[in-house]
Amino acid sequence: MTHRTTNNIGPTSPIHLVWDWNGTMRDDLDDHVAALNATLPRIGGPRIDTATYRALHAVPIRGFYDALVGRTITDEEWSRSNAEFLDVLHRRPVRLRSGVRQLMLGLRAAGHRQSLLSLAPHERLLTEVATTGIGGLLERIDGRTGEPAHSKAPALAAHLAALGVEPGRALVIGDSLDDAVAAQEVGAVAVLHTGGLHSAERLAAAGTPLAGTLREAAERGIALLNTRQGTGR
C-alpha cells in the first residue's frame, strides 16, 4: 500500500522520525547562551556570545565547560553549574520553532510515525513538551534519566527498540554533530538543521545532509530513506 500526498513528505511507505528537542524543535539557542552566561562566570569562565557557543558546544557537556573555563572543573563545580544552568533554562518560555506543529500534522497525515529523543532531563523534557501541545503527535518522549551522557547513540538505540522501529527506516532530525554520529552508529539516516546549537560550518564537516528549515530536513530525509529502500540498502 502506498501513501499519496500533494507535498514532499509523503513516502512510498511510512518512516519513523525521531526529533531532537533543544535547538531543533525548541528554538532556544539564545536561551542556552543566556543560561550559560548566568552560570559560567561563577566558576571563573568568561561570558560568551552565540557564535562561540555554536563553535564550541559539544557532548559531553562537562567537557564543554572544561574547554570554556580553560581547566578541568571539580565535581562540585560541575554539579552546581549544571543544576543552575538547567534552572535558568527551565525558567525561559518554551518557544517551538516556526511551523513545527503544522509540519508534524502533515507528517502524521502522510502516514509517518514520530517520537522525541533528547539528552535533556526526562521530567523537565515532559514538562516543556506539555506546554507546547504537541505531545499527542509523538508516540514516545525520552529524555535522560541519569548523568549527562557522552553520546546519544545508546539512547537512540534503546528508543528505537522500545518503539519497535527498524533503524533502517528511521530518520533523525537534530542540530548537533552528536545527532549525526548517533544515527550513523545505529544505522539510521540523519538530516541536521543549521539553525540550532551547532554552526553550519561544524555540521558540514560531518558529511551529513543539512537543511535550513525543519520542513526541508524532513523532506530530504524522507527522500533519502525512500532511495535507500528502492536500492535495497
Kindly state the percentage of the chain with pLDDT values over 90: 81
Question: What long-range pairs does 189-192 form, CB within 8 A, spacing at least 24?
Answer: 189/221, 189/224, 189/225, 189/228, 190/221, 191/217, 191/218, 191/220, 191/221, 191/224, 192/217
Q: What is the mean pLDDT of residues 159-187?
A: 96
Q: Write down the domain spans for the chain.
A: 16-28+96-231, 29-91
Q: Count the neighbouring beta carbons within 10 Å of the beta carbon of residue 94.
A: 18
pLDDT confidence of 10, banded at 50, 70, 90?
low
Q: What is the DSSP letter of 225?
A: H
- In this prediction, residue 3 carries a pLDDT of 37
> What is the CATH number assigned to the segment(s) 16-28+96-231?
3.40.50.1000
pTM score: 0.88
Q: pLDDT digits over 99-129, tens only? A: 999 999 999 999 999 999 999 999 999 999 9
Kindly state the percentage of the chain with pLDDT values over 70: 93
Kindly report the average pLDDT of the chain as a whole number. Answer: 91
Q: How far, in Å, CA of 55 to CA of 188, rounded?
A: 25
pLDDT at 6 over 80: no
- In this prediction, residue 19 carries a pLDDT of 98
Q: What is the DSSP letter of 43?
A: G
Q: pLDDT digits over 53-103, tens only? A: 999 998 888 999 999 999 999 999 999 998 999 899 888 999 999 999 999
